Structure 1
Amino acid sequence: MQTKVNEIASGVYRLSTFMPEVIPPEGFTFNQFLITGDEPLLFHTGPRRMFPLVREAVRRVIAPEKLRWIAFGHYEADECGAMNEWLAIAPHAEVAHGAVGCMVSLNDMADRAPRLLSDGEVIDLGGKRMRYIDTPHTPHGWDAGLMFEESTGTLLCGDLFTQHGDRPALVESDIVEPAIVAEDVSHYSALHPGMGSTIRGLAQMRPRTLALMHGPSFAGDCATALIELGNDYDRRVREALAA
């Protein structure tokens, strides 16, 4: 395995590891995002066993011990499995997450007390501003949340738009249909009536780049992509209720 590093927006780096043995035959990508600034932030840590790969990928951009913030979508191995490894090598790093995530998992599982973020709260990285957005149960997990980098308009999407295969770091082609196909195969979302409106609400920020955890990043009409994905989850809810 190797971890590729690509700058997908100014000061926003995608660290991507392709694992062909996961979800064969297409395989699956695991992506982390490093946002630079005076206080750099890593969104997703990757699984604990992937820590050496991610650490060396971060080293291509900044000294790993300078990492200041660790954030992620929800408590799950591929999102935060290596958080304590990062806390061990970065002496000033803090985990930052929403109230539910801190209450149900991180106050106990993180080796240093986490920073609790309110919905809409901003962390100023010095050159970058990260806004935290609560998205409970979307796509899954009571503690789910996303982050939006305001200066570049980059929405860190977590598991939203998950797709299979290995694609370029940044695309302008459709990401909605591949996400629909992946949902049909994996059924990874916690389907509920408010999911579509939550996803469509993200379009109001008018993001310019969508940074996917599992798949390529997207530069294009991001608002329309979010609206179409939200509409598809509404369709799924209607079909489930009618069954």
Structure 2
Amino acid sequence: MNARIGEIADGIFRLSVRVDAIAPPAGFTFNHFVVLGDEPLLFHAGLRGMFPVLREALGHLIPPEKLRWISFGHYEADECGAMNEWLAVAPRAEVAHGQTGCMVSLNDMADRLPRVLQDGEVIDLGKGRRVRYVDTPHIPHGWDAGVLYEEASGTLLCGDLFTQVGDGPALTGSDIVGPAIATEDYFRFSSLNPGMGRTIRRLAEISPRTLALMHGPSFAGDCAAALRDLADDYDARVRASLSVT
């Protein structure tokens, strides 16, 4: 197992680990993102079993002990399983997450108390880097879900949105909506609810320039259109589920 390093936007790097045993023969990628700055941030702490390879990969970018912030989309093993390992090697690091995630999980599970982020709150990473927290409950799953938007590069760290199987380049301009729809059909991983489309369209209004996917290649292109198309698909799924008797 190894982690490939790729820059997906200015100062934002993807650490990607492929697991062949998931969804064979296509396989499945687990991506973790480093936002550089005076106070570097890691988005997705990763599984505990991946920690050694991720720590080694991070060491090619910054000394791991310099990590300042740890965040993720929601409380789930592949997103935050190794958060305490990171807290142990980075003595100044803090976990940062939304109010629900901190209240129901992180206040107890994190070895140091997390920073509670309100919807729209910004962390200034220095060197012109600012990440804004956006609350997205139940999108695509987990009532504690949220995303981060890095303002300088226009990068939306969008967690499990647009999940797809298979591997690919660190960054693509190709369609990510079709593969995401196919993967939803395969895994059925989303919590369908009437607010899905509205919440995803709220992200489209940010008009990001890059979408950083946890599972699949990051995307540079018309991100707002991709988000709206994904919202339309989820709206159709919700309507279909409500019509079943």
- TM tier, smaller: over 0.9
Q: Which residue of 2 aligns with 1:199?
A: 200
Distance 1:25 1:183 in 2: 17
Give every structure 1 segment of 4 or more consecutive aligned residues whose post-TM-superposition deviation is greater than 4 Å.
Answer: none
Distance 2:88 2:27 in 1: 31
The amino acid across from 1:97 in the alignment is H
- Partner-residue secondary structure (3-state), 2:6: strand
- Partner-residue secondary structure (3-state), 2:126: coil
Q: Which residue of 2 aligns with 1:223?
A: 224
Q: Which residue of 1 aligns with 2:91?
A: 91
| In the alignment, structure 1 residue 11 sits paired with structure 2 residue 2 | no
Distance 2:171 2:10 in 1: 13
Map 1:81-230 onto structure 2 (within 5 A). Answer: 81-127=81-127, 128-230=129-231
Distance 2:181 2:207 in 1: 22
Q: Which residue of 1 aligns with 2:237?
A: 236
Name structure 1 gaps, 5 residues minimum: none
Per-residue CA deviation, residues 142-192 of structure 1 (Å, 9 max, x unaligned), is 100000000000000100000000111100000000000000000000010
Q: Which residue of 1 aligns with 2:29?
A: 29
Q: How many aligned residue pairs are there?
A: 243
Q: Give the root-mean-square deviation of aligned CA atoms.
A: 0.5
- Partner-residue secondary structure (3-state), 1:233: helix
Distance 1:190 1:86 in 2: 29
Identity rate, percent: 69
Name structure 2 gaps, 5 residues minimum: none
Per-residue CA deviation, residues 87-116 of structure 1 (Å, 9 max, x unaligned), is 000000000000000000000000000000
Distance 1:186 1:197 in 2: 23
Distance 1:200 1:179 in 2: 16
Distance 1:24 1:221 in 2: 30
Once structures 1 and 2 are overlaid, which stretch shifts more, 75-84 or 15-24? Answer: 15-24
Q: Which residue of 1 aligns with 2:60?
A: 60
Distance 1:87 1:2 in 2: 22
- Displacement after TM superposition at 1:200 (Å): 1.0
